[in-house]
Structure formats: C-alpha cells, structure tokens
Amino acid sequence: MALMTGEQYVESMKKMNLQVYMFGKKIECPAEDPILRPSMNSVKMTYDLAQMPEYQDLMTVVSPYTGERINRFTHIHQSTQDLMNKVKMQRLCGQKTAACFQRCVGMDSFNAEFSVTYDTDKKYGTHYHENFMNFLKYVQERDLTVDGAMTDPKGDRGLAPHAQQDPDLYLHVVERRADGIVVRGAKAHQTGFINSHEVIVMPTISMGEDDKDYAVSFACPTDAKGIFMIVGRQSCDTRKMEGAPMDTGNPTFGGTEALVIFDNVFIPNDRIFMDGEYEFAGSLVERFAGYHRQSYGGCKVGVGDVLIGAAAVAADYNGCPKASHVKDKIIEMQHLNETLFACGIACSALGTQTESGNFIINLLLANVCKQNVTRFPYEIVRLAEDIAGGLMVTAPSEKDLKDPKLGPYVDKYLRGVGVVSTENRLKILRLIENLSLGTAAVGYRTESMHGAGSPQAQRIMISRQGNLGMKKKLAKAIAHIEE
C-alpha cells in the first residue's frame, strides 16, 4: 500500500501509543481532542488531496526506489521540476487548510539526510546511507507521516553543547551499546510531532570535536518508549472547547506545537544516520535549513492566499470593495504574496544535483526567500487588519449571536451590507483574527518569523553565499581599477 486515504491515516494515528500532555493532564486520545484534532485534520488533507485525480501530478510521484506511486511528501527530489512541484504542492495545501499541514519538515529532512549520509559514508566507510534508504523505503511503502526534529532548547546560547551547565539542553548520546545507542534531551517547537508516525532527529547547529556525543541523527517511532510531548499554548486555543465553531475562525484545521522529551530513548543501529561525525553536523543543518526555507515560499503563500481572500470578502461585507485605498491595499497584499512565491520557485529552478544524486535548491535564494517571509506576512496581516476593521477583535461570541435575548441586538447592530447575514460577516472577521492573531498565527504570522530559523540565521547564510568578493571584482573591472 503506497497511498493511504485520509481516513486510513487518522485510524493509523489512533493506533499509536503517543504520550501527550496538555494543561497538566495526559491526553488519552489526541485524535479526538477538540484542541488537537484540527491539527490532525491539516495532515489528513495531504492524504485527501493525493487521492484526487486533478492533483495527482502535484501531490504524488512514482518513487525511483520502490517503483510505486507515493505521496510527494515522502519523495527524494530528482530534478529542478521536482523542487518546483514541491513549492506548488505546498501552496495548494496552504490554500486548502489555511494552517500548517506539518509534513514539510519530514520531506526536507529526507532530502538533507539523503546527501549528507552519502557524503559521510564516502569519508568514513559507514553505512548511514544504507540505513537511511531502508528507512525511506519503509516510509514510502506505508505512506507514513514523518516529523523532522532539529531545534534543541539550547540553554545558554553563548556556550557550545558540551559546555552547557545541563548536558541535556542539547539532545545527545548517553550510552553506546552493541545493538544501538541511548539518547537523552529534548526538541522544542515541534510542529506535527503529535500527528506523525515517525521522526527524524538531527543536530541543531554546527559542532566541534568536543560535541561528538551531540552530533547524532536517527529515526524512531513517535511513540517509542521514553518519548513524551508537552503541548504548547496558543492564543485562543481553548475556544475550540467551547462548542462555538464560529469563534475559532478556522473550525476544521489548525496546527500544534510541542516540547518533545527524549528520556533515555533506545535507537537501534539500523536507524542511526550520524553518530559522532561532528564535521557533518553543519552540512546537515545547512541543507535541511535550505530546503525548509524554500518550503516557506509555498506554504506561507497558500495561507496568504486565504488571508487575502478573507480581506477582500470583509471589504465586500463592509460595503467598501470599490474604495480606492482598499483596492490598493489588496493589490499590495497580492504583490507581496506573489513575490514570496517567486522566490520559492526561483531557488527551485536554479537548484543543482548533489553528488549523491538528489537535487538541492539554490541555497542563497532559499535564504532570501525565507528572509522575505520574516517580513512580508507581517505587512499582509497589517493590511488585512486595516481592511477588516476593529470588529475583528471586539465582536461578541457565537453564543451571544444565537442567544434568544442578545442575538437580535447583535444581528441588528453588527450587520454590514444588508444582503449579507451578520453571522457570515462575523465568520469572515473571525477567520482574519485566526490568521492574524489566533491559533493559526503559529502557522502564519509568528511562525513566519522564527520557523526554519530566525531572520539573523538567514542573514548569516546570505553573507556567506552572496559572493561579495566577486561583486567587488566586477565593480573594479568596470571602473578600470588595477591593484
């Protein structure tokens, strides 16, 4: 079975023995929890879309390793067209969920691990690439969702991993056995871990020889013994428990973040992709970050499409779609959004083949893409809030609207254009609130800033890859300067 249906995916997750905690309590069935279920629905959509004939070329591809049609989220990029199709697929998924659909980190982990394990084996004669390929085929054959875990808590940012007062602030190997290793630590800001069958763990920074125990990468089930998750709070998250779908803005879809604890987790030898080869930690971080920064030129654009549409609907419902300043703001939102998409496509189109055989994006343009994502969505949100008006954050609840006594007053005084119901007007305003300030902010606005690395991380890479020396030579040649 190479392609699961959405319902099969949900049933497969219900069978997992995940250790999930939220609000100080263990969640016995995350798939049925009202706060957590919308995030699973977002992942489910990646399975549903793959079943639709009209999206087959974007959502699926024939694996060169199994010969079967697989979900593109489990694919190793074979060409620049694959890289561009990835971005187009991510835009589609963003359009359909208006939330984080959570499978990008796994896909980006696959492609980073593919080339780095190859390079490591070439130098050391290890078997990491074989381990990885066996895992990849296992995932493709079962159409599994795989999380990618890179970010450590980090503790004192001024100290290397081995120099931290608490050695567990970076995930590390605590024991080596004949049949595998034991690891301890945590991974923070884990989007989608709670909805994944497996996880690929990677180091979070470049490392030196003293950090060998921290230079570790592996795969394991998300319900492996010793792993548990503490779900992070999101603005307006408890609205989902109130039985008032309108107030959530996006009743069906959402995203989830968690702090994931690895408490002496055993990893068998055939699931290890790096163990002590510290000089390759930086390569893995750089390549994964590049792929993931490319991803933002797709997913954030798709969610942006929804937000732009919501702002335009709000203008219709407010009775001012023809106002020149409103039209100009919507044009600006579209300009910014398409610029992000252009960056995602550009870094893909200029991708190159690695020695291992897969294709990697143009790293400079991928970092430019993500640097723009740290800025443009904030302006898109500002303009959407401007068009929507203050009612977006001051409107009464759905229960007030439906209350026998209060409802008629809410309906009377909060109606906009006469032919549009007050309920529909409030629904679109709540969606804008959700995308701008609420539980989707982690998948759009705030996550645009910090996901795939903070703005300074991209600026460092742009500095490294911008080839300033070459540009100086160009200027000197034009000016006929000889030194």
Residue at token pair 């408490």: 263
- Is 100 a residue of the active site? yes
Catalytic site residue 209?
no
Is 450 labeled as catalytic in the residue annotation? Answer: no
Helices (H), 51-126: 56-59, 80-97, 104-124
Catalytic residue among 198, 385, 398, 447: 447
Identified catalytic residue from 129, 220, 256, 257: 257
Rounded Cα distance, 268 and 177, in Å: 9
User: Nearest Cα to 140, choosing from 56, 197, 92?
Assistant: 197
Q: Chain centroid to CA 211: how far?
A: 28
Residue 104's alpha-carbon distances to 194, 391, 411, in angstroms, are: 14, 35, 42
CB atoms within 10 A of CB 67: 9
Q: Please say if 11 is a catalytic residue.
A: no
Q: Please, are residues 196 and 104 in contact by the beta-carbon 8 Å criterion?
A: no
Q: Which of 75, 129, 197, 292 is catalytic?
A: 292
320 is annotated as an active-site residue: no
Cα–Cα distance measured from residue 74 to residue 104, given in angstroms and rounded to the nearest whole number:
9
Give CA–CA dist 368/464, Å, rounded. Answer: 12
DSSP letter string, 131-148: HHHHHHHHHHHHT--EEE
Take residue 98 and report the two structure tokens written for it.
């208006």
Q: Are strands 60-62 and 69-71 parallel, antiparallel or unpaired?
A: antiparallel
Cα–Cα distance measured from residue 454 to residue 232, given in angstroms and rounded to the nearest whole number? 19
- The alpha carbon torsion through 52, 54, 59, 64 (nearest 10 deg) reads 100
**Which residue in 117, 191, 248, 374 is the catalytic one?**
191
Catalytic residue among 9, 80, 93, 100: 100
DSSP annotation of 242 reads T
Question: For the chain, how far is it from start to end, CA to CA, in angstroms?
Answer: 66
Tokens of 219: 């795969």
Polymer length in residues for the chain: 483
Token pair for 212: 């060998």
Helix (H, G, I), strand (E, B) or coil at 398: helix
Q: Which residues sit opposite 266 in a β-bridge?
A: 182
Please give the Cα distance from 35 to 331 (Å, whole number): 35
339 is known as an active-site residue: no
* Catalytic-residue membership of 296: yes
Asked if 278 is an active-site residue, the reply is no
Catalytic residue among 214, 296, 317, 444: 296
Q: Among residues 220, 299, 347, 369, which one is catalytic?
A: 299
| Other CB atoms within 10 A of residue 324 CB | 7
Supply the Cα-derived Rg of the chain in whole angstroms. Answer: 23
Angle, in degrees to the nearest 10, between helices 37-50 and 80-97: 130
Q: Which residues pair with 408 in a beta bridge?
A: none
Task: Give the active site residues.
Answer: 100, 104, 191, 257, 292, 296, 299, 447
